[in-house]
Amino acid sequence: MKAINIKDKHALFTKQWHPHRIATVDDMQVLLAKIKGEFVWHSHDDEDELFQVIKGTLYMQFRDRTEIVKEGELIVVPKG
């Protein structure tokens, strides 16, 4: 068991939209990614997704609204 420094891990890669697994908790993976620009809208039938903003702002677009997630905040997107 060892502490994971998110800033150090983040500095190791430069590619946008390329998640890196930094930990596993039971059956779930903890992924870290650099995100910039827009991504294709999609959904997951069998799993929820959690997004935590380390730096910057995330505009999460849903069918009926846009949620603004700021630095230090997170959002859980339910499956489906």
Kindly give the residue spans of alpha helices, DSSP state H, lying in the chain: 6-11
Find the mean pLDDT for residues 18-30. 94
Rounded percentage of the chain residues whose pLDDT exceeds 90: 72
- Residue 62 CA to residue 15 CA, distance in Å, equals 25
How far is residue 68's CA from residue 80's CA, in Å, rounded to a whole number? Answer: 20
Average pLDDT value for residue range 13-19: 90
Domains of the chain: residue spans and CATH: 6-77 (2.60.120.10)
Q: How confident is the model at residue 40 (pLDDT cuts 50, 70, 90)?
A: confident
CA pair distance 22, 34, nearest whole angstrom: 13
Interval 20-27 mean pLDDT: 95
Task: Determine the Cα–Cα distance for residues 51 and 72; give it in Å rounded to an integer.
Answer: 11
- CA distance between the termini of the chain: 34
- pLDDT above 80 (res 41): no
Could you read off the pLDDT of 45-69 as tens digits, one per residue? Answer: 998 999 999 999 999 999 899 999 9
What does pTM read for this prediction?
Answer: 0.80
